[in-house]
Structure 1
Amino acid sequence: MITEIQQNSQFTLMQPAQSTAELVNGVGDNRPTQIRIRIRVSQKYYHEPVISHLISEYSLNVNVNAALLAANTPTDGWFDLELRGTNKQIQRALIYLNQLNVQIWSQSTDPEEENW
């Protein structure tokens, strides 16, 4: 469901599943799981509630482990997040981030490896 794009230290740039069929046919969609990701949010989304949207629209528990975001600067924001929910919820949230052209970096390209 997630494909590896390129390496960045211990994190890998990832691309979430794009089709609804992949989400529906996924294994263990209703089991609780978690994944740790780092995202780079473009400055054009500074005034958008991107992380809040992950909670309200996808019913995820989101823990912000670290963040780099400066007001009134021409740089992107970086967030180190832990997402908790079902595999289906996480995949849908990753698709949402991908649609915003948010770069997503993960320690694993398989959410099943990060189960709790």
Structure 2
Amino acid sequence: MPQQNFPQLTPIDSRIRIPQHYQRQPLISRLVSRYGVTVNITAAMLTPAENYGWFNLQLQGNSEHISDGLLYLQNLGVNLMQLSIPGNVQDNFSSQPFPNSSHKFSPLPIPQHPPTYEIKNGQSYRLRLQICILKDYHQTPIIFDLVSRYGVTVNIIAASLLANQQDDGWFDLDIWGKPEQLFSSFNHLKMLNLPLWIDASSLHGHII
């Protein structure tokens, strides 16, 4: 049987700038679920009040899949600002305090058993939380792991993560999925020992 040649897995760094009207779209999640690209967010600044947000992404995977994913972003109007060899992207943005005081997140007791949900017609549910990205986790593809392992859709609605890896950062996340997917995702984040703040209002009407 002839040997097949597959494109080499090529890690690249990219900076993308996201216009405000796409900041509530799960763009990073789609790079994973639609194009099979391994994505690690190495730096980010995204706030609802700004016209643009940006992400520094390290992308790894089939070269064709990466190209297709970047083309998808460009077709949406997301600006591809830089492509480079890993480690060359710099930024000088100042950090924001954690937790983000503009959001009403509160620490909750860690549940020992899955909550009971009312399922209607295969409906997806939302879990909203804020997660502290400790500086030792800057090279861990947290969002990629949630999407690829548990099949959830993750939307990053706000973020502050510096590229210098000297400070902790934070993400505000909307995680969509079936109840068992959400609980597995939550357990995964717990096991990483990252501080979590849950927005309990996102669960209202779903837990019985």
TM range (shorter): 0.7 to 0.9
Alignment partner of 1:59 out of 132, 140, 151: 151
Structure having the higher Rg: 2
Following the alignment from structure 2 to structure 1, what is the Cα–Cα distance between the partners of residues 202 and 173? Answer: 16
Q: What per-residue deviation string (whole Å, max 9, x for no partner) do you get for residues 43-102 of structure 1?
A: 111101011111111111111111100011421120011100011111111111011111
Q: In the alignment, what sits opposite 1:74?
A: 166
> Relative contact order (C-alpha < 8 Å, sep 6+): which is higher?
1
Q: What letter matches 1:26 in structure 2? A: T
Percent identity (aligned): 28
Q: Which moved more, 1:58-67 or 1:71-80?
A: 71-80
Contact 2:126 2:202 in 1 (8 A): no
3-state SS in 2 of match to 1:12: coil
| Residue in structure 1 matched with residue 118 of structure 2 by the alignment | 28
Of 154, 179, 189, which residue of structure 2 is paired with 1:97?
A: 189
Distance in 1 (CA, whole Å) between partners of 2:137 and 2:205 is 28
Give the unaligned 5+ runs of structure 2: 1-100
**Structure 1 gap ranges (5+):** 1-7
Q: Provide the TM-score with structure 2 as the length reference.
A: 0.44
Q: Secondary structure at 1:62's aligned position in 2?
A: strand
Contact 1:34–1:82 (8 Å) recurs in 2: yes
Question: TM-score w.r.t. structure 1 length?
Answer: 0.75
- In the TM superposition, structure 1's runs of 4+ consecutive aligned residues that sit over 4 Å from their partners are none
Q: Does 1:45 align with 2:137?
A: yes
**Does the 8 Å CA contact 1:16/1:95 hold for their aligned counterparts?**
no
Task: Show the counterpart of 1:88.
Answer: 180
CA drift at 1:14: 3.0
Contact 1:17 1:91 in 2 (8 A): no
SS in 2 for 1:52: helix
CA distance in 2, matches of 1:27, 1:110: 13
Matched residue, 2:106: 12
More strand by share: 1
Alpha carbons of 1:97 and 1:55: their partners in 2 closer, same or farther (altered >3 Å)? same
- Structure 2 counterpart of 1:28, one-letter code: E
Letter in 2 for 1:45: Y
Cα contact 1:42–1:76 (8 A) shared by 2: yes
